[in-house]
Structures are given as C-alpha cells and as structure tokens.
Structure 1
Amino acid sequence: MATNHISTKWLGGMSFESNNTSGGTFKIDDGSSEDPQSFRPKALMLSSLAGCSGLDVASLIAKMKLEVSDFHIETMANLTEEHPKYYDKVTIEYHFHGANLNEAKLKRAVDLSIEKYCGVMEMFRRFAELDIEIIYHNE
C-alpha cells in the first residue's frame, strides 16, 4: 500500500507552510495575510481535483495522438452554509481548443479520468454531487 507523508508547519498567525512529496513547499492561510503566494485549504482541494483529472486527460491526449492546441479546466463549487462547511456540489468544465478536435475521443479521455483513473475525483464523489461539462472550442 502506498503512503504519502507531508509535513505542515505553523508560521505564526493564521499561516502554515506545507511540503509536497517532491520536497517543494507552499503556504496555506485563511486569506487574512493577503499573500498572493498563499493558498486556502478548500481552494487547494479544487486545484487537486482539476490537477488530478487534468493529468489523466493530458496523458490520454498524448496516447491517443489527439490534436489539442489548448486545454484548461474550470472548477466551481458550492460551499454549505453550516459548519463544518464543505463542498456539496462541484461543476467541472473541461475546455478543449483546436482546429481539428476529435470530440468523441476527447470525451472518452474525460470519461476515463472521471470513471476510472482520478482518485481525487473518487474522493469528491463521496461527499459532493459532481456535474461534468465538456466544452469544445473549434478554431
């Protein structure tokens, strides 16, 4: 069984520094520091979701030899009103740009990520309703 281990150190106030498994570090705070280099915990969750699925899709784009000039993911989430506040509904938009987009294969790449490969997606599925949208920008 694989285990990830990170360390998170209090920097004082409402700021922490955490490492990743590659040894890099990043700051986490509650937004009060106004440090543009700091991340808020719940926003990091959305970045992790998009990053996990995006890595899957990018790998599949390469394997399928698809022509895509640009690809980005927009992630929007609804936060509950009561504490503990959590995301109960998440919309994930996959945007593909290109002159010769193979929509069927791109949809297959997204489907494989959300149904089979992305572990973060599976974690989110345990507590949130997921709405997946694929948007093709033919240029």
Structure 2
Amino acid sequence: MEFYLKDNGMRTEFDYGTLSVSGNEEYGFRPFQLMVASIAGCSGSVFRKILDKQRTDYDDLIIHADVERNAEEANRIKRITLKYTIKGHRLNPEKLERNLALSRKNCSMIRSVEDSIKIEESLEIVELSR
C-alpha cells in the first residue's frame, strides 16, 4: 500500500476505490473510525462465515460499536464494546455464544490489538415469528 500526503490528510488507492484519511471528518475517515470498522468488520465477517458454514439460518446481523478513548494518552482507543444483534427464527443461544467466541479467536484484527485495546462483546438474539 502507498499513502499520499494531501492538504488535509492522506489518501490511498485500492481496487475498490480511493480511501481518504484525515483527523478532520470533512476531508476523510478519521483513523479511529477505520480502526473500529476494521475490528467490527473482521469480527462480523468471521462470525458470519461460521454461521453460514454451520448452516445457521438467520435474517439479519447488526453490530453496534461503542468506543471509549483516553484523552490523557493521545486520545488512544481504550475500549471497544461490540453488541451483536442477530435476528432469526429458532436461533440457539448457546450455539451462537460459542460461535461468537470462536469468531473472536479467528479474527486477525481483534488478535492484533487485544493486548492494548479492551474488546468486549455481547450478543442479543431477536426471535422473529414466521
């Protein structure tokens, strides 16, 4: 990857498109947003792969991320709380909890930061009637 300096941040090109990064949201994604998106995106993708591999039938999966930062330490990310809401019919709570724990073990982004950022996860199951 190559990053190019621009007036208000950095930019890089990917096959999918241009990514602009800036400390100012008017000019691009803020670095902490990309960090949180990487962690939630990786974890959610691994979780979905596990669910699909086990043929778990679900209608929707939403991840809500709350971020706690420490202003006294360069505003570093201190904690990320991920709340997974899975919606479906006849979902097995114990199996879903095991799958979420397994996805954590196989998410490269969580594994990369787990010694410096506290990652907390919770699961809400919404039973849909059919």
TM-score between both structures, scaled by the size of structure 2? 0.88
Match of 1:103 among 68, 93, 106: 93
Between the aligned residues of both structures, percent identity stands at: 23
* Residues 1-139 of structure 1: pairs in structure 2 closer than 5 A: 6-12=1-7, 14-20=8-14, 22=15, 24-31=17-24, 34-35=26-27, 38-114=28-104, 116-139=105-128
- The RMSD of aligned alpha carbons is 1.6
Equivalent-residue separation in structure 2 for 1:102 and 1:52 (angstroms) = 23
How many residue pairs get aligned? The number is 128
Shift of 1:72: 1.4
Shift of 1:40: 0.6
Structure 1 stretches (4+) deviating beyond 6 angstroms? none
Structure 2 residues without counterparts, runs of 5 or longer? none
Structure 1 residues without counterparts, runs of 5 or longer? 1-5
Equivalent-residue separation in structure 2 for 1:9 and 1:27 (angstroms) = 9
Shift of 1:102: 2.0
